[in-house]
Chains A and B, each alone.
Chain A
């Protein structure tokens, strides 16, 4: 579970989030919504321990983020960024195996248990057949799934994903989000991902965290739909979003 208390985040002179508090539960899939440039990535990076916070406190599974060593942090939270990773000669199995880094010895040798976890993670994202392939010969979507398998192999109670659906086609988006929901429910993980896919967020996620600069609203999905916040934030002169039906209308 992620607990944020009085968190203030910014970018240069800009303040993105000002004194926000929220608590993202375990066993639930939570979508992080917000318009472009409102600080979705900044918030996720801060939660992953990659960014700096101006003030406030982040607790992951009850432990203060600032007090965790890199190694301990990697055992609690895994992160999938938007960065495209394409390394020649690096097999998918080896990429996923890197996720075992917090648990392996000084030179990164995999034990039998580790190898099983790696195979399981590849199977979970449907990439078992690609284990021996190298990443320079794969599509964006396939690479994305391998990076997610790597995060799963890290076996952390918290997983953060920055726009994991952006390279995927429609069926694959739904499939990936169903997978994340299943992981959250079956393995009691706390999964938070940023996305621009309102329809997916509203139909598949248990909770929605919505950035309404400089605040953050966190509500169960049904309450978020009724709140009218989504309509307010995701409408402009050209389009209107209807949360109840999940449809977009051009004015």
Chain B
């Protein structure tokens, strides 16, 4: 068991590094490896190439790594907390909260006639999505304090998502075509819309979320046996829930704010990590899922660049077979 992770961790790290480099060379203009190297190290290379590699592709690849790790870790935490193999980063309604924020920003503001409002415009799509996701966290935390049974929270989260989805649909129905198209494209997800400045927001937020998830490792291991048992073994369940919710919102909320709702990574990658590492211990599984997630999203980005399709379609087409396979093969997943 130990040798398995001793082998897998270097291997996965290597894979992430390799995909990262391939991702830098791939795009509408193919840049050979030596030119990528030259652009990154400030060597002899055409100015336009240097610009493409450094300010577009490098940022995008870093976003892909962060998004993959963040979604996988938040999905893993939700699957453990809810003891449900079909839970993912969005079960608490984070993506619908973000969608509502974005819908209000893109669709609602013109309807209300406040589109030109300076404060709103400076907030940006990412800010609106983040505010929406954070609002959901506040609601969940407020409700969660009063509710003992974690399954009730799961059901509330799902119902809440559907309700918010309906509101978003109303906004869509009432909106003009241009605004509608902008919104629909946001829902398809994109790793490429993040600017270098935004990256300096995204990385610390994801870093903080990952740090919180590391703090939660012992709690997560205890929660494998369910909240009741965890409590009898000394876990302050409410505090653990709070840490895990906050971590998940930071991770999934931030990624969703900047990249749109990216589906299936958070759901499928934890299962892949469990299968690879054959271990339920979060001390192994959590970094394992983060690395696997980074590799998966990099691959999805490379494929989406080849086919020039939105990244969400690729994660779904790649993720669905994995989920189906996991469910069929192993009918007692936890």
List the interface of chain A (C-beta within 8 A of B).
Answer: 48-50, 69-71, 73-75, 77-79, 81, 83, 85-91, 94-95, 98-99, 101-102, 104, 106-108, 132, 136, 154
Q: Are A101 and B274 in contact (CB under 8 A)?
A: no
On whether the beta carbons of B283 and A107 are closer than 8 Å, the reply is yes
**Interface range for B:** 20 to 34
Q: Are A95's CB and B274's CB within 8 A?
A: no
Stretch at the interface among B184-192, B224-232, B252-260: B224-232
Known A88-B330, A88-B334, A108-B218: A50·B232 in contact at CB below 8 Å:
yes
Compute how far the CA of A89 lies from the CA of B222 in the bound complex, rounded to whole angstroms. Answer: 15
**A70: chain B residues within 8 A (beta carbon):** 231, 234-237
Can you sample 11 A-B contacts with CB below 8 Å?
A: A71-B236, A73-B234, A79-B232, A88-B333, A89-B277, A90-B281, A98-B222, A98-B224, A99-B233, A104-B218, A106-B218
**Is B298 part of the binding interface, using a Cβ–Cβ cutoff of 8 Å?**
no
**Residues of chain B within 8 A of A101, CB atoms compared:** 218, 222, 233-235
Q: Which are the 4 A-B pairs with shortest beta-carbon distances?
A: A74-B234, A90-B280, A102-B234, A79-B232
Please tell me if the beta carbons of A95 and B225 are within 8 angstroms of each other in the complex.
yes
Interface residue? B278 (CB, 8 A): yes
Within 8 Å of chain A (Cβ to Cβ): is B39? no
A218 CB, nearest partner CB in chain B, Å: 23
A88–B283 Cα distance when bound, in Å, is 16
Interface set, chain B 124-175, CB cutoff 8 A to A: none
Minimum CB–CB distance from A201 to chain B (whole Å) comes to: 23
Contacts A101-B235, A104-B218 supplied; 17 other A-B pairs, CB < 8 Å: A69-B236, A70-B231, A83-B228, A87-B225, A87-B334, A88-B333, A89-B280, A90-B224, A95-B225, A98-B225, A98-B233, A99-B233, A101-B222, A106-B218, A107-B214, A107-B217, A108-B217
Residue of B nearest to A71 (CB): B234
Q: Assess the B233–A154 pair: CB atoms within 8 A.
A: yes
Task: State whether the Cβ of B279 lies closer than 8 Å to any Cβ in chain A.
Answer: yes
Which residues of chain B (178-223) have a CB below 8 Å from chain A? 214-215, 217-218, 221-222
Let me know if B274 and A83 touch, CB within 8 A.
Answer: no
CA distance A176 to B174 in the complex (A): 68
Contact across chains for B215 and A106 when beta carbons are under 8 A apart: yes
A78's closest neighbor in chain B, by CB?
A: B232
Choose one: B1, B226, B231, B332; the contact of A49 (CB below 8 Å).
B231
- Considering only residues 225-284 of chain B, those with a C-beta below 8 Å from chain A are 225-226, 228-229, 231-237, 274, 277-281, 283
- CB contacts (< 8 Å) of A73 on chain B: these are 232, 234
